[in-house]
Amino acid sequence: MSHKIIKDVGFQFEEIELLFKIYKDILTDSSKEPDIITTTAIAGVIHSFYNGIEKIMQIILKNVDNFIPESENWHKAILIQISENNENRKQIISINTKEKLMNYLAFRHFFRHSYSFYYDWNKIKILVDDMKSVYKEFKNEINSFLNNYDKI
């Protein structure tokens, strides 16, 4: 495995973990609905989290598949591509992880195309509560792939 790929993916993992650390206080207690300013900040964290996930997928797909979709729906296409087998490799993330990440992708789209006063705390809360476990699952699957793939 190319040292640069491992380094670039590792850097993105560090950035996501720094995001969790910096915003720990607003991500920890999701039992009560926060005010609109805090909800907007939390929404930004979720958006940044998924952007980091996408960067990792792009690094791997660019270097392993030598192809990153550029269609209008490329955000969804890379998530699908990384969860499927192809002629170069087996799936990199599980279907289960893909389905969980689809929720963050959907939120990313909503975040980018709506006003913050439309955020629904009940929907955001689910994403916040699951974010660290989804990240752990994704990271484990990515690291497993990187540790066992020897063609690059």
Residue 86 pairs with which residues in a beta bridge?
A: 89
Number of domains in the chain: 1
Residue 54, CA distances (Å) to 9, 34, 58, 98 in order: 11, 28, 6, 12
CA angle (40 as vertex; 125, 104 as ends), nearest 5? 50
Summarize pLDDT for 102-136 with one digit per residue, the tens: 999 999 999 999 999 999 999 999 999 999 999 99
- Is residue 15's pLDDT more than 80? yes
Helices (H) and strands (E) in the chain, counts: 6, 0
Give the CATH number, domain containing residue 19: 1.20.120.580
Q: What is the pLDDT of residue 1?
A: 55
Single pTM value for the model: 0.93
Please give the residue range of the domain that contains residue 138. Answer: 3-148
